[in-house]
C-alpha cells in the first residue's frame, strides 16, 4: 500500500516546487540566451564540518533519489508558475516535459565525509541540473546533520540500544526524515509510526506519565498496562516514588517484566539504585531504559550506569546543536555546447567562499593496517593505488535510478565506514576533522 492511500503527508506527487525561485529565472534566462543546454557538472560539498566535529555522515540519498524521480511539472504546478508570472510561456513549455535525463554520482548513503569531499556530482544540461539545487541541498543538509548527531550518540552508547523519539520536537514531515536519518546513523528504532510505515524502521512505545495519572493508583495503571501489553512491556517508574514504583511493577509483572523507564532525576544515581532493586527482587533480566533530554554527552556520562537503552528526542532531531551541514551546490565544469569538452569553472571570492573547479573524483587512502589516513580529491587521472578505493558510485544514469537499496544497507555501511576511521574519530571532545583532505 502506498502512503498516499492513507492520506499520510509523507509522500508528495511532485517535488518541483521544493525550489527557490531563482532556479526558474536562471532557466528562463539561459533558454533565452541559448546556454540552457550546455553540458554542465555541479557538485555538492561542504567547506567545513560543524565546529568541533571529526567527520560527517552522508544521509538522505534514498530520499534524494525519490525527489529527483518525482521532480515533475503537472498542470497544477505549471498553473501556479503561470499565475504568479514566475517564468514566461516558452519556459513553461520547456518545464512541462521536464525529466532529469543526466547522471548523478555520489558517496553512498551511510558513508562518512570531510571538508571538500565531492559528496554528489550532478551532470547534464545546465537547465535540468540547476533546477535540482534546492531540493538536493534541503534533503542532504537536513538528513546528514541528523545522521551525524545520531552517529555520535551511537558511538557514545557503546552498543546499547537507541530509540529515536523526537517527533514531537520538530515538523511532522521532518520527524519522518529525522527518524530515517537517525536509523542510518546507528539508532535501532523510532517512536514515529509514519517513519515505521514509510521506511520499515522498527517502532516502539508503551505509555507516558499521563497514563499513570489517569488511574486512581500507580498499581492500577501498571496492572492495566500489563494486562493489555503483557509482562514484557516497559513500565514508566518515575511518576511518583521510583523505589515504590519498581517494587509495584515487579509485584504485578513478576521477574519477567520486560523493562522499566526512567525519565527524570539524576539518571546515573537512579539507574544504579533501580538496577540493585530489580536484582534484589529477582528481576535480573528486566532492562532499564532512560530518557530525559539526552544528547551524546549525557549518554557518554552514563557509560558506567547499568542502562540498557536510551531514548533521545530534541537533541537528535536538531542535530545536537548543528541542524545543517552547510553543504553547497556549485557549478564546477561546463562546456560551450550540449556535447563539447568540459572546461573547469570556479567562483573567485575573497574570504572562505572559494571553490575548486573541475569534475572531481574522491578516494580514501588507508595505512598498512587498513585505517583511513586521508581523503584524496582530484580532477585528473586517478592514481593506480587509489582506483579500488574510490568513493563515488553511480546513483542515476541517463535519468534512471540505479542505486536504490534497503535502508539497512546504508546503516551497515555507516557502521563499517566509521569503524575504518582512526579511533579519535569517536571522541566527543572538540577537534579537527579526523582525516585531512588532500587535493591532487
Burial of 229 per CB tally in 10 Å (0-12, 13-18, 19+):
middle
pLDDT confidence tier of residue 294, bands split at 50, 70 and 90? very high
Residue 165 in contact with residue 191, Cβ under 8 Å?
A: yes
d(CA 42, CA 28): 19
- By C-alpha distance, which of 258, 250, 210 is closest to 230? 258
pLDDT confidence tier of residue 382, bands split at 50, 70 and 90? very high
How far, in Å, are 246, 254, 310 from residue 230 at the CA level?
17, 11, 22
Angle ∠(234,254,305) on CA atoms, nearest 5: 50
Could you report the per-residue pLDDT of 141-186, keeping only the tens digit for each? 999 999 999 999 999 999 999 999 999 999 999 999 999 999 999 9
pLDDT surpasses 80 at 8: no
Helix, strand counts (H, E) of the chain: 15, 18
**pTM of the full predicted structure?**
0.94
Could you report the per-residue pLDDT of 18-75, keeping only the tens digit for each? 999 999 999 999 999 999 999 999 999 999 999 989 999 999 999 999 999 999 999 9
- CATH architecture of structural domain 3-131+326-439: Alpha-Beta Barrel (3.20)
- Domain borders along the chain are 3-131+326-439, 147-321
Cell numbers for 45, please give them.
560539498
d(CA 41, CA 345): 10
- CATH architecture of structural domain 147-321: Alpha-Beta Barrel (3.20)
pLDDT confidence tier of residue 339, bands split at 50, 70 and 90? confident
pLDDT of residue 12: 52
Amino acid at each position: 500500500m502506498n502512503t498516499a492511500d492513507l492520506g499520510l503527508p509523507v509522500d508528495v506527487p511532485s517535488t518541483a516546487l521544493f525550489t527557490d525561485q531563482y532556479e526558474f529565472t536562471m532557466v528562463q534566462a539561459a533558454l533565452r540566451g541559448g546556454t540552457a543546454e550546455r553540458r554542465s557538472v555541479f557538485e555538492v560539498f561542504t567547506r567545513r564540518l560543524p565546529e568541533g566535529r571529526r567527520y560527517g555522515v552522508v544521509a538522505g540519498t534514498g530520499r534524494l533519489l525519490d525527489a529527483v524521480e518525482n521532480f515533475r511539472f503537472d498542470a497544477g504546478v505549471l498553473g501556479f508558475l503561470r499565475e504568479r508570472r514566475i517564468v514566461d510561456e516558452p519556459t513553461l513549455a520547456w518545464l512541462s516535459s521536464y525529466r532529469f535525463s543526466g547522471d548523478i554520482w555520489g558517496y553512498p548513503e551511510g558513508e562518512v565525509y570531510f571538508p571538500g569531499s565531492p559528496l554528489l556530482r550532478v551532470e547534464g544540461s545546465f537547465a535540468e541540473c540547476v533546477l535540482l539545487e534546492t531540493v538536493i541541498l534541503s534533503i542532504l543538509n537536513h538528513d546528514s546533520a541528523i545522521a551525524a548527531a545520531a552517529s555520535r550518540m551511537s558511538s557514545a552508547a557503546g552498543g546499547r540500544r537507541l530509540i529515536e523519539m523526537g517527533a514531537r520536537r520538530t515538523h511532522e514531515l521532518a520527524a519522518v526524515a529525522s527518524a530515517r536519518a537517525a536509523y542510518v546513523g546507528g539508532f535501532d528504532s523510532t517512536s514515529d509510526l509514519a517513519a515505521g510505515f514509510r521506511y520499515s524502521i522498527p517502532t516502539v512505545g508503551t505509555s507516558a506519565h499521563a497514563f499513570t495519572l489517569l488511574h486512581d493508583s500507580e498499581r492500577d495503571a501498571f496492572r492495566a498496562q500489563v494486562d493489555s501489553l503483557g509482562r514484557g512491556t516497559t513500565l514508566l517508574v518515575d511518576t511518583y516514588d521510583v523505589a515504590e514504583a519498581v517494587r509495584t511493577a515487579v509485584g504485578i509483572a513478576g521477574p519477567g517484566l520486560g523493562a522499566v523507564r526512567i525519565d527524570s532525576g539524576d539518571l546515573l544515581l537512579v539507574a544504579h539504585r533501580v538496577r540493585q532493586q530489580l536484582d534484589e527482587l529477582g528481576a535480573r533480566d528486566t532492562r532499564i531504559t532512560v530518557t530525559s533530554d539526552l544528547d551524546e554527552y549525557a549518554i557518554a556520562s552514563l557509560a558506567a550506569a547499568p542502562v540498557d537503552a536510551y531514548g533521545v528526542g530534541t537533541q537528535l532531531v536538531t542535530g545536537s546543536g548543528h541542524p545543517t551541514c552547510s553543504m553547497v551546490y556549485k557549478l564546477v565544469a561546463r562546456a560551450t555546447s550540449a556535447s563539447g569538452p568540459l572546461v573547469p569553472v570556479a567562483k573567485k571570492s575573497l574570504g572562505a567562499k572559494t571553490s575548486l573547479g573541475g569534475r572531481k573524483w574522491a578516494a580514501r587512502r588507508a595505512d598498512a593496517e587498513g585505517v583511513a589516513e586521508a581523503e584524496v580529491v582530484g580532477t585528473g587521472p586517478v592514481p593506480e593505488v587509489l582506483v579500488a578505493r574510490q568513493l563515488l558510485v553511480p546513483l542515476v544514469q541517463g535519468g534512471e535510478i540505479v542505486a536504490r537499496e534497503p535502508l539497512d544497507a546504508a546503516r551497515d555501511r555507516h557502521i563499517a565506514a566509521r569503524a575504518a576511521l582512526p579511533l579519535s574519530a569517536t571522541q566527543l571532545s572538540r577537534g579537527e576533522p579526523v582525516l585531512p583532505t588532500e587535493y591532487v
